[in-house]
Amino acid sequence: MRNRQATPIETTHPTTLCPRLRLLALLAAAQLAACVPPDVRTAAKLIDSGDYAGAEHVVDRALDRQPRNQALLAAKIRVLVANERRAEAVALYRRHPSGTLAFGLAKSVLWWALQHPSDQLRLDALQAVRALDASSLMRHVHARLEDPDPVVRTWAAVALSRLPTGANVLERQLTSQHRASRAIALRELGRIAQSAALPTLSGCVGETDAAWRSACATGLGYTDSDRAVALLIPLTRDSAPSVRHAALQAIGRLHRPSATSSVEAACNDAFLGARLAAIDALFVLDAKRAIAKLSRLAEGTSPYVALRVGVQLARQGTVQPGLNAIARGLVDRQAAVRIAALAAASQVADPVAKKLARKALRDAQPQVRLAAARAIGDQLDTPRLRQLTEQLCAGSLDALCAESITLLAGRDRALAKALLLKLLKRNTQATLRAGATASYLSRSGDMAFAVDRVADPMPEVALAAAKALYRRYR
């Protein structure tokens, strides 16, 4: 179905094309509905009501009559997942492998995670559905508008903000006293409504809570208006560093020259994050002025500022200050500075930057060696990358092992998979295991591994695998 070519319509008049297509779509949907066995619809109703045993009984009887029916097999998989029997669901898929059932397996896990007792897993599932634009699961997202956790409720409202019910919940969260929920609502309102959000966001710049002012500043950065800049300029002098940082980032997105003087002043902010955001924003607003005012900082005493200015100057065509800052950063005593220098090297399009990064492959600190591999990228030969990955995975820093496996997955999938399996066997941290699984799958495209991970005892890992399967087979 994915590769089927549409037949061109050459003789149909444009004024009659859309009504005909709508009619064809309705007829196709009716045909599809007619092909679904009644037992599948009965089982779905029982599952939605929580009667998993009853649903399984209905599906099993139907499968006795039609053992290879894809819709019935998909319903059986959903029942097994709902009953926390994911290993059995995987085994059933293995007996009847198909793209349809792989998609059904993924959808079942996403649905199951949306109703899981863990607040965090429900939130992760909700974010997955949003990222995948999984329209077939939106009615289950709708149920999260009544979720007991206010953060889950807010993100459900964001996902459904185009519907009246979702918009109403999001509006209520704008006045919530729950700190995180209100911050999410304010920030996302700007992304969703853009200029229409300006009246609401105008009233929140004076909030007493810095988290709310920061969220408001971020939201204003999506409203594309001079009024938003006027509201953001005072926030660049806010008492809270996080608010100043958010305001400067927002100004950089809005591209309004009227903020140039305030941004230039913020280049001397005491908070490093705000200072770096101001440097980036000034290069966006007025590159010539930024070059004239900030070039000296590339030779300054702050390595992070020197690297940021150096990268920006390289983007303007002047590479040497950036290369000098990278070279100095790579011999700094602090590993964090050396890692920042390697991050800068990855952004400077000059062969000398890659040559400097290669020297860091011999650094005493494993996290620096990994940063060097990232900076060199595709220019790092595969044997060297294999060696680095095996070294890192032989140590005790599993986060570094996981990241190096991700780099290797696109080059040597067999070795990357073997090292990942060892990591998953010894590590018990759900976040790390799920992240390592997701990263490996995104680079390798190993869907057989994704199916296996659906049976992982940790639901976070199963969800990561389901996301990859849904993306591949939808």
Write out pLDDT tens, residues 309-358: 999 999 999 999 999 999 999 999 999 999 999 999 999 999 999 999 99
Write out pLDDT tens, residues 279-296: 999 999 999 999 999 999
Write out pLDDT tens, residues 354-399: 999 999 999 999 999 999 999 999 999 999 999 999 999 998 999 9
Q: Which residues contact 431 (CB under 8 A, 6 or more apart)?
A: 460
**Does residue 19 register a pLDDT over 70?**
no
Q: Which of 367, 428, 380, 429 is nearest to 408 (CA)?
A: 380
pLDDT bin (cut points 50, 70, 90) of residue 34 is: very low
Cα angle, residue 54 at apex, residues 53 and 58 outer, rounded to 5°: 120
**Does residue 5 register a pLDDT over 70?**
no
**Does residue 467 register a pLDDT over 70?**
yes
Separation of alpha carbons 292 and 21, rounded Å: 59
Residue type, 30: A
**Does residue 24 register a pLDDT over 70?**
no
Q: Cα 5 from chain centroid? A: 32
